[in-house]
Amino acid sequence: MKKKIVRIVLLFVGALLVGIGAAVVMQQAQDRKENAECSSRTSQTARVSLQTHWEREEKISLQPQTADGKPAEAKRQEDEQTKKVALTFDDGPNPDYTGMLLDGLKERGIKASFFVLGSEVELYPQLVRRASEEGHLIGVHAYRHVNLRQLSDAEAVEQVDRTNGAIYRATGQYASYIRPPYGCWKEDLDYEVQMVEVLWDIDPRDWATTSSDLVVQRVLSEVEENSIILLHDASRSSVQAAFTIIDTLQKQGYTFVTVEELLLE
Residues 6+ apart with CB under 8 A from 11: none
User: Which is it for the CA torsion 122, 125, 128, 132, positive or negative?
Assistant: positive
Q: Over the range 246-257, which residues count as b (16 or more CB within 10 Å of their CB) and which as e?
A: beebeeeebebb
Q: Is 83 helix (H, G, I), strand (E, B) or coil?
A: strand
Q: Do residues 148 and 185 touch, judged by C-beta distance below 8 A?
A: yes
Q: How many CA atoms lie within 13 A of 95 on its CB side?
A: 6
Give me the residues paired with residue 86 across strands.
228, 257
C-alpha dihedral over 122, 127, 131, 137, to 10 degrees? Answer: -30
* Enzyme catalytic residues: 90, 232
CA distances from 222 to 34, 58, 87, 176, 201 (A): 23, 36, 14, 28, 9
User: What span, in angstroms and rounded, lies between the C-alpha atoms of 256 and 163?
Assistant: 26
Q: Which of 130, 139, 142 is nearest to 228 (CA)?
A: 139
